[in-house]
């Protein structure tokens, strides 16, 4: 995108693949809110999807999932770390 071009839209619906492919463009936007469907994909902080989204400038985050955490505290910690890294950080 050109630096002088302004991007205006209320909602952007995209796929996991495009989030990682278009990192340069999408990562340059100051996002008001991010809603992640199938958030169980973020249960591992080593995944590319987790790392890419963590670098996006986001004011608010919401995770949606229908998949249970399988009684794993590590998965829960990674989701909480993505939502509020200042409260759930790695030592």
Residue 1: inside a domain: no
Can you read off the two tokens belonging to residue 54? 């963590």
Residue 79: inside a domain: yes
- Going by pLDDT thresholds of 50, 70 and 90, the confidence category of residue 2 is low
SS3 55: coil
Residue 2: inside a domain: no
Q: Is the pLDDT of residue 1 over 60?
A: no
Residue 24: inside a domain: yes
Number of domains in the chain: 1
**68-89 confidence digits (pLDDT tens):** 777 688 888 889 999 998 999 8
Residue 53: inside a domain: yes
Residues in CB range of 65: below 8 A, 6 or more apart = 37, 38, 39, 40
What is the pLDDT at residue 3? Answer: 62
**17-71 confidence digits (pLDDT tens):** 898 898 988 988 889 999 999 888 888 888 888 999 989 999 999 999 887 777 6
Residue 88: inside a domain: no
Do β-strands 31-36 and 58-63 pair in parallel, antiparallel, or remain unpaired?
Answer: parallel
Structural domain of residue 42, as residue ranges? 16-83
Distance from first CA to last CA of the chain, Å, rounded?
38
Residue 6: inside a domain: no
Residues in CB range of 66: below 8 A, 6 or more apart = none
């Amino acid at each position: 995108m050109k630096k002088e071009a302004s991007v205006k839209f209320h909602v952007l619906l995209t796929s996991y693949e495009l989030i990682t492919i278009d990192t340069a463009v999408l990562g340059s936007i100051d996002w008001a809110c991010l809603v992640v469907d199938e958030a169980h994909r973020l249960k591992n902080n080593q995944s590319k999807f987790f790392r890419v989204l963590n670098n996006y400038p986001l004011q608010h985050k919401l995770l949606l999932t229908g998949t249970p955490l399988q009684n794993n505290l590590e998965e829960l910690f990674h989701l909480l770390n993505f939502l509020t890294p200042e409260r759930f950080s790695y030592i």
